[in-house]
Amino acid sequence: MELTLDGDVVRAGYEARERFYDSRGYGKVRNGDIDLSPVEAAHLLYRGDIESIDGMDFRAFLGSAAVSEVDFAVYKDLRDRGFYLTPAREGWVDDAAGADFVVYPRGKGPWDNEVAYRVRVIGERDTVDATALGGCVLAVVDEESEVTYLDTDRREVSGTSDAAVPATAGELLGERVVCWEPPAELYDQAFYGQQLGDDGAVQLSLVEAAYLAQEGLLTVDGGADAVVGRGREVEGDRFDRRLAVYTALRASGVAPKTGFKFGADFRTYADVESAENLGHSELLVRVLPADHRFEPRDLALDVRLAHGVRKTMVFALTADGGDGSGDSGNGNDLEWIAVERLTP
């Protein structure tokens, strides 16, 4: 079969429609005939189902400007995995925005009105807006043309870690606050800080101390402002973003602790009853300004690490860039995006 490229569509007739759409889910029906996108036509060429397009064989067509190699790599990979899928073009699928392919559940096709994944294709060297994530699967084509799938999802964070803590006093020492005689609940039940030794003293991180001081649970020379000021000195704007996220996590009943060993801002415990019986931490949280653009490689690194330690990677996007204007911390201006590896 020899077909013709018309703009960005390969036109084919009734016979092609029967062979390619009706039985295998390629293309878009138009007036009883079929339109194929170039990537679909390339796949049919690759399989030998059609011989040429405008005289071009697979090799020539893939080398032409009509087909993106990156799209082809993902299209082929998903077909190899047994899926039918449709290019997310306006008029071809519902809600085309933000996706490159709409993938149907295995055994289903474009005629079934069920969607398994909305896939967005990027090359390893492209960047992707943080706000574009959520509700789609990123298919990242690496330099060797292998595809890594990352499922992205907007989500809520919640837990039952909400032990009450009596107020206490602390002393700001460099980049930490030491509570020399804290109530036992501070560390034992609510899991703030670390024990300095055996005598009960607890050292708080600056973000923990700033939160407790803002909540009226910690008195320190200069008040919360002194702690926040020290935080900004050593971390800049990032401190405000981290404090906003820390506050939102605590407000959601989740106990955040440093994620340093995992290269993250926080790890979180949803159901702390005591510091002695912590259980497993569920999330790794990385705090980012909402205008962040991800390098796919950094995403792959974070998500792979989280998977390896049986946690879920969550990116906390602070909408206002964490300007410390005072309304941060209510969590309303935060977005949580969970990203996990997916094997379709």
Residue 291 in the binding site for a second copy (CB under 8 A): no
Selected from 257, 287, 288, 318, the binder of a second copy by CB under 8 A is 257
246 in catalytic set: no
Residue 92 in the binding site for a second copy (CB under 8 A): no
Residue 203 in the binding site for a second copy (CB under 8 A): yes
CA distances from 107 to 8, 93, 197 (A): 28, 18, 61
Give the separation between CA 247 and CA 243, rounded to whole angstroms: 6
Selected from 34, 70, 102, 270, the binder of a second copy by CB under 8 A is 70
Binding mask 219-238 for a second copy (x = CB under 8 A): ---------------xx---
Residue 68 in the binding site for a second copy (CB under 8 A): yes
Which DSSP string do the residues of 116-142 spell out, in sequence order? SEEEEEEETT--EEGGG-SSEEEEEE-
Residue 33 in the binding site for a second copy (CB under 8 A): no
Residue 136 in the binding site for a second copy (CB under 8 A): no
Residue 276 in the binding site for a second copy (CB under 8 A): no
Residue 142 in the binding site for a second copy (CB under 8 A): yes
Residue 180 in the binding site for a second copy (CB under 8 A): yes
Residue 302 in the binding site for a second copy (CB under 8 A): yes
Of these residues, 26, 269, 292, 307, which one is catalytic? 269
Selected from 33, 49, 77, 124, the binder of a second copy by CB under 8 A is 124
Contact residues for 77 (Cβ-Cβ < 8 A; gap 6+): 139, 147
For a second copy (CB under 8 A), the number of binding residues is 52
Contact residues for 231 (Cβ-Cβ < 8 A; gap 6+): 206, 207, 210, 239, 240, 243
Say if CB 87 and CB 40 are below 8 A apart.
yes
DSSP code for 23: T
CA distances from 297 to 222, 239, 336 (A): 43, 25, 20
Minimum Å gap between C-beta 110 and a second copy is 24
Residue 235's closest CA among 263, 262, 206?
Answer: 206
Q: The tokens of 156 are what?
A: 């809520």
What 3-state class would DSSP assign to 192?
coil
Q: The tokens of 292 are what?
A: 């962040």
DSSP code for 220: -
Residue 123 in the binding site for a second copy (CB under 8 A): yes
Which span (105-113, 246-254, 255-263, 313-321) binds a second copy, by CB under 8 A? 255-263
Selected from 115, 278, 305, 342, the binder of a second copy by CB under 8 A is 305
CA distances from 76 to 98, 107, 213 (A): 20, 17, 56
280 in catalytic set: yes
Give the separation between CA 85 and CA 44, rounded to whole angstroms: 14
261 in catalytic set: no
Selected from 34, 139, 140, 275, the binder of a second copy by CB under 8 A is 140
Selected from 131, 219, 258, 312, the binder of a second copy by CB under 8 A is 258
Active site residues per annotation: 269, 280, 311
